[in-house]
Structure 1
Amino acid sequence: MKKILFFLFVSAYSFAQIDKVEPPFWYENMNLSQIQIMFYGKNIAQNTVSVSNGIVITGVQKTENPNYIFVTIDTKDVLAQEVVFTFKNKNKSFTQKYEIKKRKENSRLRESFDASDVIYLLMPDRFANGDLSNDSTPNTTEKADRNNPGGRHGGDIEGIIKNLDYIKSVGATAIWPTPLCEDNDKTYSYHTYAQSDVYKIDPRYGTNEDFVRLSAEMKKRNLKLVVDYVTNHWGAEHWMFKDMPTYDWFHQFPGYGQTNYRMTTQFDQNASKIDTKYCMDGWFVKSMPDLNQSNPMVLNYLIQNAIWWIEYADLNGFRVDTYSYADKVGIAKWTKAITDEYPNFNIVGEVWMYDQAQMAYWQKDSKIGAIQNYNSYLPSVMDFTLQEAIHNGVFNDDEASWFGGIIKVYNNFTNDFLYPNPNSLLVFFENHDTDRINEIYKNDFKKYQLALTLIATTRGIPQIYYGSEIGMAGDKSKGDADIRRDFPGGWATDTTTAFTKEGRTTEQAKYFDFTSKILNWRKSKNIIHTGKLTHYIPENNVYVYFRHDEKESVMVVINNSKDKQTFKVERFKENLEKYTKGIDVLSGNSFDCTKEITIDGKSSLILELK
């Protein structure tokens, strides 16, 4: 008798079990009203499904894996409420509550990032440890070990929140943290690009509620939150990889197949099919299974997940990792679905290529893409050719030549005609995957000044990387950990802190004060955000350009020569004819703009013209 009762208990328990519901809830009045809810549990597909309150089920999809059932409901005109799903198998049934939540006012037209912003990129694990209690958690494998350069160091969401005022003081208006969702890899999990649950913040960073609180605290300070979203791959520890809904949820070769990283195959009309397949479908690395965006269920899952996070955490934008490795048709549909839901929402894609035509292919409404009837719908791409010029030591080129010196920067902008919207490009001199600029230029402060002046005043959206504003360096050849060092003062055991004026060394203060001055000035300068860019061919390694409109003009001079230079201004008459004087933003000095201007070697001027 006891055996029979035990059997009945186990059967009923396994029958009624639901382990996951995704999305965990939805919102009223969404453009995406046909919402496909995934229910996951042991043999759940054996059931029929119904729902309460007159909600219409428009589709039920089962796969070869009986642990999944996908139920599509129509939420059009459905107000915020709780509904109940009933799962039934013969004479047994169980229920699952599901909530349609009220949407934030004006959510659809939410503000996003643009050229008026400066984005501060940080790695949460390496920025600041605000909560010691979550450094290691029982349900995640890798534990904190700050002595391991490639291990987890304990930085978290609370650490970001506690230092928001610092970030704002730098002059940033938006924050891009590298991914925050759970990454349960056994080692090297701190970067969190190999996510194991995309509806859950990594518990070593905090909770979903902590993330929402971060967003709210940022809004209080007029800071925008740009989330690093990964569409191309998940981690091998992702629970859905361990129990796949369908065999083709991930690209199979069978199993692992390495990408060739040749993104040119995405548009090369001469490319072989096998090369194209291995670029798009191959895995970025063995620990990151490649998602199959050409599978409609996968694509729908990613669209819903992205929109859910935007609505839930009140996000202001996305940076999309490895954008050009995804199925290009699928990623375009994903991007369009999000921007259809949020017309002002900006998304910048990582298209790591060193050719303007190839990068321009990926920007929304590209004439180059149109040749192949392709539109990515992606508003912004990253200006890697500008970054390349800076990384290749343009500011080390003291002597000008036909191809050398500051002409490399000038030539970058001569190809802006290829982009549908060059002012929406992300401009930067480093990020979390590259050598730090202060490593490249060996902490030559003058060269840092030149680089920051450039990205802060040219067209596009500037992005800086945490720590460079205090002179942090890092050599990628020593491993990624060297370019992702802990921010000094982010840990209670640190003996110094760069988060405060009093704590900064003289050298750190020199970098910080310059960075803060130029970026805080930029905040209110609409002419820099939206003004036309007119530049002049460099002479004697001196590059001059203007940001201007009918009413206002700013003249930028970058002297890449080590020698003091004096130049006549007659050549710039078309931009100077209304102006006689310029006040340098950096020094406060006044310059006569009617005859000639003298500038020190390896220095810059930002002249507000009067």
Structure 2
Amino acid sequence: MKKILTISAISISAIFYSQVQKVEPAFWWSGMKNTELQLLVYGRDIQNLQPEFSTGIKIKEVKKVENPNYLFVTIDTNGVQPGKTKLNFKNGNKTVKTIDYEFKQRLQNSANRDSYTSSDVMYLIMPDRFANGNPKNDNTPDTAEKADRSKTGGRHGGDIAGIVKNLDYLQELGVTTIWNTPLLEDNEPSYSYHGYAQSDYYKIDPRYGTNEDYKNLADELHKRKMKLVMDYVTNHWGSKSWIIKDLPSKDWIHYWNGQENGFQRSNYRMTTQFDSNAAKVDEAACMDGWFDTTMPDMNQSNPMVVTYMAQNAIWWIEYAGLDGFRVDTYSYNDKKGIADWTKRITDEYPKFNIVGEVWMHDQAQMSYWQKDSKIAAIEGYNSYLPSVMDFTLHDALGQVFREDAGWDSGMQRVYDNLANDFLYPDINNLLVFAENHDTNRFNQIFPKVEDYKLAMSLILTIRGIPQLYYGSEIGMAGDKNKGGDGEIRKDFPGGWAGDAHNAFIKSGRTASQNEYFDYTKKLLNWRKTNEAVHTGKTLHYIPNNNVYVYFRYTDNKRVMVVINNNKENQNLDLKRFSEGLKNFTKGKDIISDKEFDLKTNLSVPAKSSLILELK
């Protein structure tokens, strides 16, 4: 009887210790610059297990945390060749679980991959609202929220297949780079379509498709010499994340004592990150407060958290062949932790571009966050972030086209914005935009196509990387003040079977939609070929009568841009612009193909622009 009990105890022990459920990352690559790899191992009560590789891969450290369901195994991958190995978990001398672990061969020249630059035009898509290419995945058994197009804040069914289906449309338009709002799983029971409360960082949301579908999207873009940017979220995870529901240790998130579920809302005062006069309590309330109730704030001062995120980011770059990141709420992160995360990625990929959402309204404050900022260097800080979003220009564009000329109104707002370019260490690496998924639609603020044309003339010819928002090129509007975020994130017409109109094709667009589209298409496709607006210097003139004139130029090319925001025709005396014109006497407007004599005067119709290639 005693012998039988002993055998049973051994059997129960083997079952108990075999509950290794996850290893993340599930596979890795050989030949990485950083040869240290932290494996997160998850399973029920696994802390007494001892990991061991069958091929002699060196384990540098096995770290236990508060939660017995985790082990963090740090290994040295130096010299590891591509191939499969066995990761054994032992209880004493007995192996109770074996996992196949693979090191893959990196693509040739992976570390030196090119990224998006000022020669590109970025197109922002909310995948749930763009096109439904596979209705079969609208609802899945393992995701809570089901598709319902009648709800402005609900799931509508757009997916990766819908984006792939319409890549020809985007290529025709002249887009070179796609930024999708997050595609990773967001399993909140409601309002999950935006994707910013992510629940699994290694899994594409099944309502969008599979990991393989995402990789295929990148491949299809690359066939067209287009690029893919991932929207990466470091500041917060979703409340339904499997890690959040069973934290490795309490200090993985910012847990506010006395508050339900650890929640305390951020005060959103990002200036406290660098304000030398700020109170510590206010600084903590911004950096450590939660962005929202369903978005626990991650603690980037915990090195294990930063390592998990950095490895995950690198995993997606290698796996999907990504061309860049946009990082959500960049300036809400622990600033030392996010700088470490950013540097780890750019150390591995020196040309990889990352643009951070730094939603501030002062150029000095925004420039603080760009890599090698002289302002941040005063306090010894460097974010290592290559690019920031130009929110001050966005602020100006929300007003200028309804204003008359003034000391600080009309086109003077744009001039004043560019007058502060000296604050940025890399002025060509700013993301410039008139709107995005969080702002009112430009075409709602300015419903006349003439104002859209003025804005696009500006966005697509000034320094920086221009970003467009899906549907603006056909005149889509929306007012979040009246209908919430769903109003600025409407479905693209023609993206769903049964839609009354299909704006993805010329015959399906109205005359008005085609006017928006044709103007955008001509401007975008011209921009691809002109290095003066990619990397040229800027020479601009103080606006007179609400007319803004500037030149973009290199040693070989020169472009003159005239934006007449006046309600009346304007006649320009060209002697004033001799510094910009040099010895050029003619210019061809890239929109109308009309040639202009630039010897004396230039007549510009009311509320119109000229983009002149000088000859």
TM superposition score normalised by structure 1? 0.98
Paired position in structure 2 for 1:469: 473
**In the alignment, which of 39, 59, 65 is matched to residue 37 of structure 1?**
39
**In the alignment, which of 165, 176, 199 is matched to residue 173 of structure 1?**
176
Counting only pairs closer than 5 Å after superposition, residues 457-496 of structure 1 correspond to structure 2 as 457-477=461-481, 478-496=483-501
The answer on 1:396 being equivalent to 2:398 is no
Paired position in structure 2 for 1:330: 337
Paired position in structure 2 for 1:289: 296
The answer on 1:275 being equivalent to 2:282 is yes
Paired position in structure 2 for 1:151: 154
Displacement of 1:182: 0.3
Paired position in structure 2 for 1:307: 314
Read off the aligned partner of 2:448 and give its amino acid letter. Answer: D
Displacement of 1:91: 4.8
Distance 1:261 1:176 in 2: 25
Q: Does the residue aligned with 2:275 lie in a helix, a strand or coil?
A: coil
Displacement of 1:10: 5.5
Read off the aligned partner of 2:299 and give its amino acid letter. Answer: N
Q: What stretches of structure 1 of length at least 5 have no aligned partner?
A: none
The answer on 1:341 being equivalent to 2:348 is yes
Q: Per-residue CA shift, 1:365-402, capped at 9, x if unaligned?
A: 000000111000000000000000011x20111x2111
Distance 1:453 1:593 in 2: 20
Distance 2:555 2:212 in 1: 47
Distance 1:508 1:417 in 2: 39
Displacement of 1:95: 1.2
Distance 1:599 1:10 in 2: 85
Distance 1:91 1:420 in 2: 58
Which range is displaced more, 161-170 or 133-142?
A: 161-170
Distance 1:577 1:47 in 2: 75
**In the alignment, which of 353, 373, 380 is matched to residue 360 of structure 2?**
353
Q: Per-residue CA shift, 1:404-432, capped at 9, x if unaligned?
A: 11100100000000000111000000000
Distance 1:476 1:463 in 2: 20
Read off the aligned partner of 1:196 and give its amino acid letter. Answer: S
**In the alignment, which of 82, 87, 90 is matched to residue 80 of structure 1?**
82
Indicate the percent of aligned positions where both proteins have the same amino acid: 60
Counting only pairs closer than 5 Å after superposition, residues 193-204 of structure 1 correspond to structure 2 as 193-204=196-207
Distance 1:546 1:461 in 2: 17
Displacement of 1:12: 3.0
> 2:17 touches 2:49 (CA, 8 Å); kept in 1?
no
Paired position in structure 2 for 1:374: 381
Read off the aligned partner of 2:91 and give its amino acid letter. Answer: N
Q: Does the residue aligned with 1:502 lie in a helix, a strand or coil?
A: helix
Distance 1:265 1:33 in 2: 36
Distance 1:238 1:448 in 2: 41
Paired position in structure 2 for 1:415: 420
Paired position in structure 1 for 2:555: 550
Q: Per-residue CA shift, 1:77-122, capped at 9, x if unaligned?
A: 2110111111111353221111000000010010100100000000
Closer, same or farther in 2 for the Cα pair 1:564/1:186, shift >3 Å?
same
Distance 2:182 2:10 in 1: 44
The answer on 1:449 being equivalent to 2:453 is yes
Q: Does the residue aligned with 1:453 lie in a helix, a strand or coil?
A: helix
Displacement of 1:212: 0.5
Displacement of 1:403: 1.3
The answer on 1:222 being equivalent to 2:225 is yes
Paired position in structure 2 for 1:238: 241
Read off the aligned partner of 1:307 and give its amino acid letter. Answer: I
Displacement of 1:76: 1.2
TM superposition score normalised by structure 2? 0.97
Q: Per-residue CA shift, 1:139-160, capped at 9, x if unaligned?
A: 0000011111110000000000
Q: Does the residue aligned with 1:172 lie in a helix, a strand or coil?
A: coil
Distance 2:144 2:294 in 1: 15
Distance 1:190 1:607 in 2: 43
> 2:133 touches 2:163 (CA, 8 Å); kept in 1?
yes
Displacement of 1:4: 9.9
Paired position in structure 2 for 1:364: 371
Q: Per-residue CA shift, 1:221-278, capped at 9, x if unaligned?
A: 1110010000000000000011000110001113111110000000000000010011
Read off the aligned partner of 1:183 and give its amino acid letter. Answer: D
Distance 2:512 2:448 in 1: 11
Which range is displaced more, 296-305 or 250-259?
A: 250-259
> 2:531 touches 2:557 (CA, 8 Å); kept in 1?
no
Distance 1:206 1:552 in 2: 45
Q: Does the residue aligned with 1:16 lie in a helix, a strand or coil?
A: coil
Q: Does the residue aligned with 2:561 lie in a helix, a strand or coil?
A: strand
Distance 2:161 2:277 in 1: 51
Distance 2:390 2:464 in 1: 9
Q: Does the residue aligned with 2:228 lie in a helix, a strand or coil?
A: strand
Distance 2:135 2:246 in 1: 33
Q: Per-residue CA shift, 1:509-564, capped at 9, x if unaligned?
A: 01000010101110111111011111000111100000012221000000000100
Distance 2:8 2:147 in 1: 42
The answer on 1:581 being equivalent to 2:586 is yes
Paired position in structure 2 for 1:14: 16
Paired position in structure 2 for 1:518: 523
**In the alignment, which of 569, 573, 577 is matched to residue 568 of structure 1?**
573
Distance 1:21 1:31 in 2: 22
Distance 2:495 2:16 in 1: 46
Distance 1:558 1:8 in 2: 81
Read off the aligned partner of 1:287 and give its amino acid letter. Answer: T
**In the alignment, which of 173, 185, 188 is matched to residue 191 of structure 2?**
188
> 2:143 touches 2:187 (CA, 8 Å); kept in 1?
yes
The answer on 1:593 being equivalent to 2:598 is yes
**In the alignment, which of 263, 267, 280 is matched to residue 270 of structure 2?**
263
Read off the aligned partner of 1:545 and give its amino acid letter. Answer: Y
Which range is displaced more, 464-473 or 586-595?
A: 586-595
Q: Does the residue aligned with 1:404 lie in a helix, a strand or coil?
A: coil
Distance 1:467 1:7 in 2: 64
Paired position in structure 1 for 2:65: 63
Closer, same or farther in 2 for the Cα pair 1:245/1:595, shift >3 Å?
same
Paired position in structure 2 for 1:608: 613
Q: Does the residue aligned with 2:319 lie in a helix, a strand or coil?
A: helix
For the aligned residues, what is the CA RMSD? 1.3
Distance 2:556 2:352 in 1: 29
Q: What stretches of structure 2 of length at least 5 have no aligned partner?
A: none
Distance 2:185 2:35 in 1: 28
